[in-house]
Amino acid sequence: MSTILLAATVLGGNPLLETYKTPHQTIPFNEIKTENYFPAFEEAMKQHMVEIATIINNSESPTFENTIVALEKSGSLLTKVSSPFYNLLGSETTDDLQALAEKISPLETEHANSIRLNEKLFARVKAVYLQKDKLKLTPEQQILLKQTYEGFANNGANLSEPDKVIYRELSKNLSLLTLQYGQNVLRETNQYKLLITKKDSLSGLPSDLLDMLAANAKNAGQEGWLLNLKTTCYVPVMKYADNRDLRRELYMAYSSKCMSGGEFDNRENVKKIVNTRLMIANLLGYKSFADYELIDRMAENKENVYNLLDKLLTAYKPTAEKEYAEVQEYANRNGAYFKIQPWDWSYYSEKLKDEKFLVNDEMLKPYFELESVKKGVFGLATRLYGIQFIKNSKIQVYNKEVDAYDVTDENGKFIAVLYTDFHPRDGKRAGAWMNDFKAQWMDGKTDSRPQITLVMNFTRPTDSKPALLTFDEVKTFLHEFGHSLHGMLTKCTYQSLSGTNVYRDFVELPSQIMENWASEKEFLDGFAKHYQTGEKIPADLIQKIKDSENFNNAYFCLRQLSFGYLDMAWHTIEKPFDGDVINYETKAMASTQILPIVSNTGMSTTFSHIFAGGYAAGYYSYKWAEVLDADAFSVFAKNGIFDKETAESFRKNILEKGGTENPMILYKRFRGQEPTIDAILKRDGINQESTGSKN
């Protein structure tokens, strides 16, 4: 009897423990209740331990199949239960789900530790690993064996019994701390509201934004315009509001989140998280958490990370300083007799951009109606890879705004399920992301296909207008869709290696390369039409987009570098930190700062990527992958942006392979050589003789 059927027999009536009788066995969201989760987690962990005991008690000598593969396949019920829970925690959370997460998180950590720290189980894994040179394994099997062994060795399996006790406690604490950190950010973001009752105070804001703010107020039972700290409000207010005091008000609120005292203050959580990570790294024999985390990364070590960051800083900073001076001069020339502050930057940059290139978001948005953009992005995948997207209303969704699609190949063969979720809600965290509700794997000759979710926070439609995207939002859509392609097109044997289960500094290549199509005329001509007139986006407007692409590019590069330096500063500490969080942050980011530093503001208390996500000692990977994507897209640029042969090579060598081989081997198989920074410098318009140094 299968684990899932056995669990259903034990706890009948819990939909999470039953075989899903839905299209493609998708999650029956309409049937699952919050109270189903905890007993399902308990049962799934219990069944997982039965599976582990079976591996341990196998009387046969350890082999790749009876130990490594058996371990890979174990815990399928737990994965089935945890997948909807943690996805909804990010995109459709409630107070009850958050409270439940705080209850489940330490139990799951303890469960994982009881497996990773099991001496008998590790002995079997190690016995197979020591035979690796004698075993005739495929490259994918070799990677699975290596990652399985290191998954134990790098998570405490080699520790003494007293140290294992310490490790258990530290990892449990860390899990809870990162969860609390993320919940604080969401709660403080949702808590902020600013009601404006005089329309004159909102001078400069576009009409669709005013409509959205008025709808916010109406939904809250108030009259006027209700502002918040969600990106759909914050970003356009900073860009368009003529009212400098309003911009400063919102900037200060946004930039001081979780650091002003009160129940959502994250400063102590930052200290506890970095110190706990340091203690774990030290316990495992590493000087810093970065030393521990970078073992399985393309960068390999912190010296290579800093080498990349430093090279880019040297290359981009002179241009960034010129960009700041140009914006300052423009502001002064237009009556702003003060030093440009952070709350002024977007406002005057946008006006300067408009003056120089005669293009701005308000000119472009009418051509980027969400449904049209969706057709364009889906159509790009069709042109490159032959895949089709067919809406399937029979698939249950977790919110009425979510759509589900059957994804098929050119012959109609099913490839994946794709969920799309485009608009902000109080229960959804900020940002944009891709994840899976179910990963891909092979079971014999059966290819179990993935179920992917694509989550955004784009401006909602209003009573008078459909959802119109900014050009940056179009690029965000392409970015996350690139991750989705990585998840949907994967063809791997083992779930733990499929899709986006790759090195952290490689995972952004499939996403970032997609952004390159955003300004290509041949791509835009296929879908960018005025939502009212149906007029195709004019060629001269596309040219203006191209001409303006490098506007303030160096400044934005330094901004990304500042996040990378901050991340590394927190995770290269070799002694427990007990200083002032914001002072430490300021010093860490000092070399990258172009704008004046404002007191009582900071980044660390809301830097969810590294303190509540998977990017600790890995935020540099965005720039690392940017080097890769610029280099990789140069092949498309040379051969044609819709060249089938190039697309097929990228699909076969990158998108389908997941983490089944070393990423540099995969990249070189596609590109024919290792990447250099030449392509990114050329793309960004940085006039510097390339060193030719390899990434």
Q: Which residues are catalytic?
A: 480
Q: Which run of H or of E encompasses 638?
A: helix 621-639
Closest CA to 664 of 639, 694, 638: 694
Backbone torsions φ then ψ of 295, nearest 5 degrees = -55, -50
**Cα–Cα distance list, 660 to 142, 218, 489, 491 (Å):** 9, 52, 14, 10
Backbone torsions φ then ψ of 447, nearest 5 degrees = -100, 105
Closest CA to 528 of 366, 360, 364, 367: 367
Residue 63: how many CB atoms within 10 A of its CB?
16
Which residue type occupies 503?
Y
Q: Which run of H or of E encompasses 153?
A: helix 139-153
Q: Cα(188)–Cα(439) distance, rounded to whole angstroms? A: 33
The upper half-sphere exposure of residue 20, i.e. CA atoms within 13 Å in the direction of its Cβ, equals 18
Contacts of 140 (CB under 8 A, 6+ apart): 492, 493, 494, 497, 660, 661
Q: What residue has token string 């004046």? A: 596
Q: Where are the alpha helices (DSSP H) in 294-389?
A: 302-333, 342-357, 361-364, 370-385
- The answer to whether 140 touches 661, Cβ cutoff 8 Å, is yes
E strand segments, 548-589: none
Q: Cα(144)–Cα(494) distance, rounded to whole angstroms? A: 8
Contacts of 340 (CB under 8 A, 6+ apart): 324, 327, 328, 331, 348, 595, 596
Q: Where are the alpha helices (DSSP H) in 12-65?
A: 34-56
**Cα–Cα distance list, 227 to 27, 186, 191, 395, 594 (Å):** 35, 16, 11, 35, 28
Structure token digits, residue 641: 């942006």
Residue 447 DSSP class: E
* Crossing angle (nearest 10°) for helices 302-333 and 621-639: 80
